[in-house]
Amino acid sequence: MTDAMINEKVLAWAVDRAEIPLDVVAKKVNVKPERIATWIEGVERPTFRQAQSLSSALHIPFGYLFLKEPPEEKLAIPDLRTVGGDPARKLDLNFRDLLNDALFKRDWFRDFIQDHAGRELEFVGKFTANDSARIVAAAMRKTLYGVEGSPRTGNWEERGAGERRRKLPQ
């Protein structure tokens, strides 16, 4: 099989970033830990299939393994957590994936609204944290439903008797 010409510095960065022991990574890639150590040292190279498994196990895009230098990762939101005045540890990979997914969906929805509705919702940016939740909810309801107060939805008791007594196919 053809070897993947990955950058060993990037692989070392990805293993360190993931904070996963080599034996666990090796198990996910289906090789021995010593083999991964030789890839990190640059003595050997993985196959393309092994490199794809590495990228999946380490939560990085496959193309990162071929970069000249490890990428500089910046959080899209400020991390204000501290422990004793010191910044908190690195974010968990699953949390990073979740955050990136949520931000992607937020951006997609913003673009969708701009393309299809042509305007932002009236209540966005209109209120502060000091405003009453009832007032904010009422404004949102009025914008979304066109009415003030609770939207009217019936329950099973309010529906017509004919609707409740539908005949089942025999």
Strand partners, 86: 83
Return the beta strands (E) in 70-158 as ranges: 82-83, 86-87
Please tell me the distance from the alpha carbon of residue 124 to that of residue 15, in angstroms, as a whole number.
41
Helical pair 33-41 and 22-29, crossing angle rounded to 10 deg: 100
Greatest extent of the chain over all pairs of C-alpha atoms, in Å: 78
Hey, is 49 helix, strand or coil? helix
CATH superfamily of 8-66: lambda repressor-like DNA-binding domains (1.10.260.40)
pLDDT per residue of the chain (170 residues) written in tens, 0 to 9? 688 999 999 999 999 988 889 999 999 999 999 999 999 999 999 999 999 999 999 989 999 999 999 988 777 777 777 776 666 667 778 888 888 899 999 999 888 877 776 667 778 888 988 999 999 988 888 887 776 655 566 666 665 554 544 444 54
Decide: residue 106, CB within 10 A, 0-12 exposed, 13-18 middle, 19+ buried: exposed
Give the pair of three-digit tokens for residue 139: 């404004």
Q: What is the pLDDT of residue 168?
A: 47
Q: What is the pLDDT of residue 94?
A: 83
How is the chain split into domains, by residue range? Answer: 8-66
Q: What is the pLDDT of residue 150?
A: 59
Please tell me the distance from the alpha carbon of residue 147 to that of residue 124, in angstroms, as a whole number.
18
Q: What is the pLDDT of residue 164?
A: 47
Strand partners, 87: 82
- The pTM score is 0.57
